[in-house]
A and B are shown apart, each in its own frame.
Chain A
Amino acid sequence: MKLIYEKSQEGRRASSLPPRTLPVPDVPEELRRERPPRLPEISEPELVRHFTQLSTRTFGVDTGFYPLGSCTMKHNPRVNERVVNFPGFRDLHPLQEEDGAQGALELMWRLQEILAEIAGLHAVSLQPAAGSQGELTGLMLMRAYFAERGESDTRHKIVIPDTAHGTNPASVTMAGYEVTPVQTDPRGNIDVDDLRAKVDEHTAGLMLTNPSTLGLFDENIEEITRIFHNAGALMYYDGANLNAVCGISRPGDMGFDIVHFNLHKTFSQPHGGGGPGGGPIAVRDRLEPFLPVPAVVRDGERFRYDYDRPQTIGKVRGFAGPFGVFVRSYAYIRSYGPRLREMSEVAVLNANYLLAQLKDAYDLPFDRLCMHEFVLSARTLKRRDGITALDVAKRLMDYDFHPPTIYFPLNVPEALMIEPTETEAKETLDEFVEAMLEIVRDASERPEVLKEAPHDRPVGRVDEVKAAKRAVVRYLFEDHPDLSADGSEARQLEAQKGA
């Protein structure tokens, strides 16, 4: 398929602007644009066709089953798209006076109250733009909390399990802390003995998701909470896996002091090919003074911004946050009400249904019931048949399934992390099981079919090494290189980036 720039023809144009009769003032010469940007020159029919073709070469939840572990690829309700486009939301300027934005302010306030209840905590900021920004904000809150207590110099470590999502250690580093890794025990819980040895007066806190990236609920969570709170440290909950426990176990009740939510995972904001998302945070009351500013508060029947927060860490994003994401998540939660519990129950049911049927055919690192996701390993397939998790993933494409997350978490070799979510039909799950079992059979009977997969996609396996070496990251027009000239191989990432 051609790039839009390759479809460009000089003189073609899609846009029309109202006629202008007013004179245009001169731009001072040294500030004036000399050469126009080489944007595409394309007509509307060509433009619409181009984007339609791009979308048909993209697989979304709307297309088919998308069991990407830790991403919660659930159905995105269409009513959310209708309401987010109401002019009163869509065309509202963020600097509109408060009396002209009461509907928006009320929606945000209500969403805050809802999230506080779901978390089992006291105060919420909707500002962070994504989960990893929520993490960074949470860590900044920790810094502010310890600074107030005069403990900034002593507390410089954050404990993270070896199963942690890749953003966790990155966020820790960006916040100016050091990572202390802790091991996982044979049941898939944090190794409590290892933890006890590593938590001391230099520990600022823990960053954990529960259930973990292994899809397992940490059975020792109460002991873990005791260890951290006895050491005067704080506990941060990564909400990426909240879909498993809404209304069943609340992070605040587990002992966590700061929680971030992923509105694009648990609360149905569509993933958009990489965003937008939303990463609001909920905190225990002693951390409330440090929350980003402005806060959204209620005064009787009116809703307003409160900027009078002398201890705030500041601002992490423009305005009040990604408002359109709030509208969708709010509408979504209002569709469930207290029945959010059922959302989680079915998410866990669907995952266990798959696990029960696949755990004998694949290697199972931890033999327990899972939560909303589970991890299998292809290590026997690799040893016996030379078939890797990567090969399994590519072959699943031939069955019109998006592959699960692969090579994560890092402590499971040839990992396959599968999260069906609650919105899938039983028949889809059954078809997925069939495909996964057939792949095991094909691994011994006709492995070449797996090695050469996928067969029916616009491209086969790609050369990631060439991509990183040549770093061709934009169209170079007349100077655009022909990369096929330097030979072609499938050289693909065998260690998957975190989801």
Chain B
Amino acid sequence: MAAGESYPDDLRYNKEHDWARIEGDEATLGITWFAQDSLGELVHFEPPEDGAEVAKGGSYGEVESVKAVSDLISPLSGTVLEVNPKVVEEPETVNEDPYGDGWLARIRLGDASELDDLLDAAAYKTFVDEQ
């Protein structure tokens, strides 16, 4: 049921195991394969409100598995445009497809320069290997 390990090249990552897909002045956010693997099957997603402000490095919601509750740490600042209703209904979607159907929220970017602080796939993979 769970996806195979991967860290797509078109994404950017933070050290808290969250990813961002940049699309113009918007970004889609989610958690990485490593995060969902560590947590185990997700049982709950506590999403942010539409319109909420998120800060880079700040928590924008929670995901929960049987083992642990985990904050979602936003890699970028912005305003929440949409949260993924499929994950709210079926949190295990994140385990099956963490980068596709398992996306968590879309935001309008607050500060594009923050991208420079994020890791690319290679750097993130190296970081994960050290865990």
Contact = CB atoms under 8 A, between A and B. Distances in A.
A, B assembled together:
yes
A223 interface: no
A494 B44 contact: no
Interface stretch (A264-272, A287-295, A358-366, A463-471): A463-471
Interface string A462-492: 0011011100000000000000000000010
Contacts, number: 22
With a 10 A CB-CB cut-off, give which of B65, B67, B91 has the most chain A CB atoms: B67
B39 to A, nearest CB: 10
Nearest to A495: B67
A174 interface: no
B96 interface: no
B41 A465 contact: yes
Interface string B33-71: 000000011011000000000000000000011110000
Interface string B16-27: 000000000000
Contacts of A495: 40, 67
Interface residues of B, number: 10
A491 B43 CA distance: 12
A449 interface: no
Contacts of B43: 465, 468-469
A493 interface: yes
B42 to A, nearest CB: 9
A494 B68 CA distance: 12
Nearest to A497: B67
Given A493-B66, A493-B67, A495-B67, A468 B40 contact: no
Nearest to B68: A495
A307 to B, nearest CB: 40
A413 to B, nearest CB: 14
A494 B40 contact: yes
A119 B43 CA distance: 44
Contacts of B67: 493-495
Contacts of A469: 43-44, 91
B60 to A, nearest CB: 21
A491 B64 CA distance: 15
A493 B91 CA distance: 17
A465 B44 CA distance: 10
Nearest to A463: B66
A493 B65 CA distance: 10
A228 to B, nearest CB: 29
Contacts of B64: 468
Contacts of A468: 43-44, 64-66
Nearest to A496: B67
Nearest to A464: B66
A468 B40 CA distance: 12
A493 B40 CA distance: 9
Contacts of B65: 468
Nearest to B38: A495
A469 B42 CA distance: 9
Nearest to A467: B66
Nearest to A407: B67
A205 B64 CA distance: 31
Contact of A491 (B41, B44, B91): B41
Nearest to A465: B41
Nearest to B91: A469
Given A467-B66, A468-B44, A493-B67, 8 more contacts: A465-B43, A465-B66, A465-B92, A468-B64, A469-B43, A469-B91, A493-B66, A494-B40
22 contacts: A464-B66, A465-B41, A465-B43, A465-B66, A465-B92, A467-B66, A468-B43, A468-B44, A468-B64, A468-B65, A468-B66, A469-B43, A469-B44, A469-B91, A491-B41, A491-B66, A493-B66, A493-B67, A494-B40, A494-B67, A495-B40, A495-B67
**Nearest 10 pairs of A and B residues by beta carbon:** A468-B43, A469-B43, A495-B67, A464-B66, A468-B66, A465-B41, A493-B66, A465-B66, A465-B43, A493-B67
